[in-house]
Amino acid sequence: MAIQIENLRKRYIGPDGSVVPVINISGFALADGEQVALIGTSGSGKTTLLHMIAGILVPDEGRIRYHTNGTDVNIATLSEVERDVFRGRNIGYIFQTHHLLSGFTALENVQLGMSFTGRAPDPAWAKHLLEEVGLAERLHYKPGKLSVGQQQRVAVARALANRPKLVLADEPTGALDSANAQQVLDLIRKLCSEVGASLLLVSHDLNIARQLSRVLGLSELNKLS
């Protein structure tokens, strides 16, 4: 799925009532299946941008166009319910911290990602994903019984549960040591290739970003002044 960002603007209202511009991007694009890194410093608006691309936030202005199978969808104009459904079916999201549900096992957390698409659940695929991320022996472990690296690998498997067309990864290695970070990155890239998903990975770590096919600098894209 190809994505086209055009004239995207987002502002927040500060506590004193002042308007704080956060995003002002004239445009960039992701090709179908492309794996792109977006680098930027803390507070530069990386997460806000990803939330808008995922339809969690709505931009004040601009378009976020998804091209797939001959259709063109601007997620910014969809209703909230339509955005939720679109996200559930087409987008996998990996957070900086794993954001797993503590009362659910690893397998249930992955299956949970399949619960909101309206499609038939696929437990075999959920198991396959966990095997792919090296957790075949930990299917029924709850997050509290897994290491931080293992938790993040479950989160990677969950993001791929619905065979998404786009994976958004918000500093997925930020909380990991270098060895675990490399493992998780490799898994994300491998699984995205396996399902044919485009990848937009946000990081402040240039070493991580450089391993992807293209690196975008948010400071260059985001014209706030």
Sites of contact with other proteins (CB under 8 A)? 47-48, 51, 54, 56-57, 80-81, 84-85, 87-89, 93, 95, 97, 99, 101-104, 108, 111-117, 121, 158, 162
Of 36 and 50, the one with the shorter C-beta distance to other proteins is 50
> In angstroms, rounded to a whole number, what is the distance separating the alpha carbons of residues 165 and 200?
11
Of 176 and 183, the one with the shorter C-beta distance to other proteins is 176
Q: How far is the CB of 200 from other proteins (least distance, A)?
A: 15
What number of CA atoms fall less than 13 Å from residue 15's CA on the CB side? 0
Q: How far is the CB of 89 from other proteins (least distance, A)?
A: 7
Of 95 and 183, the one with the shorter C-beta distance to other proteins is 95
> Strand 91-94 to strand 166-170: parallel, antiparallel, or no bridges (unpaired)?
parallel
Q: How far is the CB of 97 from other proteins (least distance, A)?
A: 7
Kindly write down the DSSP assignment for every residue of 88-125, as one continuous string. HHHEEEE-SS----TTS-HHHHHHHTTTTSSSPP-HHH
Q: How far is the CB of 65 from other proteins (least distance, A)?
A: 20
Q: How far is the CB of 103 from other proteins (least distance, A)?
A: 3
Instruction: Tell me how crowded residue 148 is: count the other CB atoms within 10 A of its CB.
Output: 14
Output the CA–CA distances (angstroms, integers) from residue 124 to 130, 135, 166, 189, in the order listed: 10, 14, 22, 21
C-beta of residue 47 within 8 angstroms of C-beta of residue 222: no
Of 140 and 214, the one with the shorter C-beta distance to other proteins is 140
Of 90 and 150, the one with the shorter C-beta distance to other proteins is 90
